[in-house]
Structure 1
Amino acid sequence: MKTTIAEVKHHVGQEVTIGAWLANKRSSGKISFLQLRDGTGFIQGVVEKKNVPEEVFQLAKSLPQESSVYITGTVHADERSPYGYELAVTDIRVIHLAKDYPITPKNHGTEFLMDHRHLWLRSRRQHAIMKIRDEIIHATVEFFRKNGFVKVDAPILTGSAPEGTTELFHTKYFDEDAYLSQSGQLYMEAAAMALGKVYSFGPTFRAEKSKTRRHLIEFWMVEPEMAFCSFEENLQVQENYVSYLVQSVLNNCRQELKTLERDVSKLEKVTPPFPRITYDEAIKLLHEQGFDDIQWGDDFGAPHETAIANSFDKPVFITHYPKAIKPFYMEPDPERKEVVLCADLIAPEGYGEIIGGSERIHDYDLLKQRIEEFGLPLQAYEWYLDLRRYGSVPHSGFGLGLERTVAWIAGIEHVRETIPFPRLLNRIYP
């Protein structure tokens, strides 16, 4: 019976055949232990000399790492195995013998592993990270569908930018200028005026010459927008969504979290409501912790965000930033015009901002004024202004960075491991 490693639990005591790769092996006298993987999971195949023909035993001992095989054996429950089962091997059929596989069980440098990313993905650690990423994507679609959102796809090529064009990739669109999108937000605002509650989920690009562990050149964003939605309601959606992601990973990726040695007790605390502090309170908190360099009106860097996050055991909202350091489309606080109705959600454990959101300006005259103040070309935003000309309503939204969220939930130090093929400063291979 042909099956997969993920399905062997349904075949205990039965003989099965699995298409697999040899991740690693060790031999001890008259027994060989084969670490096998098939994409769905990992399992140990035990080859005993007394139970197989001599040629099968010799093949098991000589198989090179990452060779592909059809392996046949009887499934046994095994409490000692991390996966709960092992395979008593009776036959091995070689599909392809891999020679001199470059990623061996020894330690390799990061640059070497990045050069071989197409192969590094096969490792147990990278397998666990990709499974957690997939679970977060699945939970995202599930959460928004359950809550009445419609998925709308934003364009990747745009003629304007939500936050200016200084960090955008420029290209020619026939005889016009165009940019790779840094956000689908403006288009989601248009879609929200048609469909009420929407979200986009796709790749975004920022030509930011940063080498920090939090930055990628190409990354994926989840960007909901909601008509008739206040700033407060927006925060509630965010904390419910993030909690839903964490619970989905806890419920469905326990083995992967164990592989990554993630402290799940920290994730189990992630339930609504999340703590909130204003930008003013954050500045005061930083001064109390010795950050004398930060002044009112400055944006927060990674050390500041980490210090703030360390004061809480859940993600924390920092609200009401100064208008001068935020994008043009954010609604000013009606009681204090120099700050805007916005919030950044800072993840615990030093992972930084995972969400930025706000109530959007819905007044035509104010939005036009802000576009002009930012020195943006008015003509490029005429369609965006149309949303305020024809049936404007209060509305709010946010953007969640997928890779930072995966890094936090999985407990990964660098975001480069959270995307299959990372694009970094000076790296576009493979």
Structure 2
Amino acid sequence: METITMIHAARFLDQEVVVNAWVTNKRSSGKIAFLQLRDGSAYFQAVILKNQVAPELFEQVKHIGQESSLKLRGTVQASDRSALGYELLVSDFEIIGHSEDYPITPKEHGTDFLMDHRHLWLRSSRQHAIMQIRNEIIRATYQFMAENEFIKVDPPILTGSAPEGTTELFHTKYFEEDAYLSQSGQLYMEAAAMAFGKVFSFGPTFRAEKSKTRRHLIEFWMMEPEMAFVEHEESLQVQEKYVAYLVRNVIEHCQLALKTLERDIEQLEKYTQLPYPRISYTDAISLLKKNGFEDIEWGDDFGSPHETFIANQYEKPVFILNYPKGIKPFYMKINPEDPRTVLCADLIAPEGYGEIIGGSEREVDYETLAENIEKFGLDLDTYAWYLDLRKYGTVPHSGFGIGLERTVAWLSGIEHIRETAPFPRLLNRIYP
């Protein structure tokens, strides 16, 4: 008798199988018992008929606690009562691990309670669905990069410098030297692109921002592609193709998860249609001022209300192009058509989810880059290796970074980013 996971139930219709699972809920009458189960792959129902199992086994059902683990034997049946479309008619079972007084019951619980029990909250159907979407975004990223001939390169997590030029870094000691937790692998990706042409990194990054918004985490994961011989316009085309690819794969491979989350798939379908609209920073400022945002002036960065308003003018993600150089990092290339700005873009997700991608063409002129580093108050010696990239065969190159957790929140349709990480790190939370 084969041991299966229920996500593959269709392959075993009307066959006897073994399933290992945990109990999420149960109900019974005099002659029939229903167990709501999860096996890591899916949530499903098992049916136990009193007249088809041993009497002591049917009696034992009454004493199974929530989250007890079971080994079940039975027959896979089609079922229109189940979102999965299949259930298990049980012929026998045994308890592997007892569970009593499980703290997360089917009743409502407060957010702090659930976050304190995050190690258990992950077992719920909603959290399971979100993590499935997260996993699919990661899987599809690797597939997209492979199909487009990118090579994965892993930048260091401990660094001696700050790519974004910010003081909001986590400081540590590297033996006798100062070091920081990485806030971006981008500078290292530029070096890698000069070796391999098209590269990407995917790993944890850290921002010591004292922010409590629904869009921010202290530790989050970034995908950061970098492309040699690629200018700004071509980079934008790669970005939108990549995002549309992610959306398409989530729609195709996460149907049950999207249903659990009650995500509007027709809405997601719109985001697969290219190209994405574009608006310049300067035009975006004008749009905001014409619509009552008197608090913003040219040269200011956008806040969440500004981004949301701009995004609401479109039905798809929108690129905001060419921000003022004063509010962007030192490595971005000056826009030759307007030297006040740089060749960059932020991709703003619809439905109020804000920026999910930031990217730019990189400055390639040695003197200009060295001058920018000094203007930003950074140490030239620390960036000597980065400047070397402009001395030895420099080429036009561009890249971008996409935040995994914000992308998960957007495609899942959930309100707060804290649910997008298995064990989120927030301003006042490092447990569990």
The verdict on a shared fold, with TM-score over 0.5 as the criterion, is yes
- Deviation sequence 1:241-284 (CA, Å, 0-9, x none): 00000000001101110000001111101121000000011111
- Pair 1:356-2:358 in alignment: yes
Secondary structure of 2:340's aligned partner? strand
Q: State which drifts further: 238-247 or 285-294.
A: 285-294
Listed as ranges, the matches of 1:148-297 within 5 Å are 148-270=149-271, 271-297=273-299
| 1:125 matched residue in structure 2 | 126
Q: State which drifts further: 322-331 or 2-11.
A: 2-11
- Aligned partners of 2:59 and 2:213: how far apart in 1? 48
| 2:136 matched residue in structure 1 | 135
- Aligned partners of 1:112 and 1:44: how far apart in 2? 28
- Aligned partners of 1:206 and 1:83: how far apart in 2? 40
Shift of 1:46: 0.8
Listed as ranges, the matches of 1:93-132 within 5 Å are 93-132=94-133
Unaligned runs of 5+ in 2: none
Secondary structure of 1:338's aligned partner? coil
Q: State which drifts further: 257-266 or 44-53.
A: 44-53
- Aligned partners of 2:165 and 2:361: how far apart in 1? 19
Secondary structure of 1:211's aligned partner? coil
| 2:409 matched residue in structure 1 | 407
- Deviation sequence 1:214-248 (CA, Å, 0-9, x none): 00000000000001111000100000000000000
- Aligned partners of 2:127 and 2:227: how far apart in 1? 35
Shift of 1:50: 1.7
Q: Partner amino acid for 1:199?
A: F
Q: Partner amino acid for 2:143?
A: E
Q: Partner amino acid for 1:368?
A: A
Secondary structure of 1:306's aligned partner? helix
Secondary structure of 1:397's aligned partner? strand
- Aligned partners of 1:198 and 1:274: how far apart in 2? 24
The counterpart of 1:315, out of the listed 292, 317, 333, is 317
- Aligned partners of 1:264 and 1:8: how far apart in 2? 24
Unaligned runs of 5+ in 1: none
- Aligned partners of 2:81 and 2:268: how far apart in 1? 26
| 1:326 matched residue in structure 2 | 328
- Deviation sequence 1:145-173 (CA, Å, 0-9, x none): 10011000000000011112411100000
Shift of 1:409: 0.5
- Aligned partners of 1:54 and 1:291: how far apart in 2? 72
| 1:397 matched residue in structure 2 | 399
- Deviation sequence 1:36-92 (CA, Å, 0-9, x none): 111011110011212211111111222100000101111111123100101111111
- Deviation sequence 1:118-158 (CA, Å, 0-9, x none): 00000001111101100000000000110011000000000
Shift of 1:335: 1.9
Q: State which drifts further: 88-97 or 26-35.
A: 26-35
- Deviation sequence 1:351-383 (CA, Å, 0-9, x none): 000000000000000000000100001110000
Q: CA RMSD in A?
A: 0.8
Shift of 1:288: 2.2
Shift of 1:29: 3.1
TM-score, normalising length: structure 1: 0.99
- Deviation sequence 1:310-346 (CA, Å, 0-9, x none): 1111000000100100000000111211100000000
Secondary structure of 2:35's aligned partner? strand
| 2:388 matched residue in structure 1 | 386
Q: Partner amino acid for 2:213?
A: T
- Aligned partners of 2:267 and 2:283: how far apart in 1? 25
Shift of 1:26: 1.5
Secondary structure of 1:385's aligned partner? helix
TM-score, normalising length: structure 2: 0.98
Shift of 1:181: 0.1
- Aligned partners of 1:117 and 1:59: how far apart in 2? 30
Secondary structure of 1:145's aligned partner? helix
- Aligned partners of 2:102 and 2:162: how far apart in 1? 45
Shift of 1:4: 1.4
- Aligned partners of 1:183 and 1:321: how far apart in 2? 20
Secondary structure of 1:336's aligned partner? coil
- Aligned partners of 2:121 and 2:115: how far apart in 1? 8
Secondary structure of 1:284's aligned partner? helix
- Aligned partners of 2:13 and 2:394: how far apart in 1? 62
- Deviation sequence 1:194-219 (CA, Å, 0-9, x none): 00000000000000000000000000
Secondary structure of 1:219's aligned partner? strand
Secondary structure of 1:386's aligned partner? helix
> Deviation above 2 Å: which 4+ runs of structure 1?
none
- Deviation sequence 1:1-32 (CA, Å, 0-9, x none): 22111222111111111111001112233211
| 2:422 matched residue in structure 1 | 420
The counterpart of 1:335, out of the listed 337, 356, 363, is 337
Shift of 1:110: 0.4
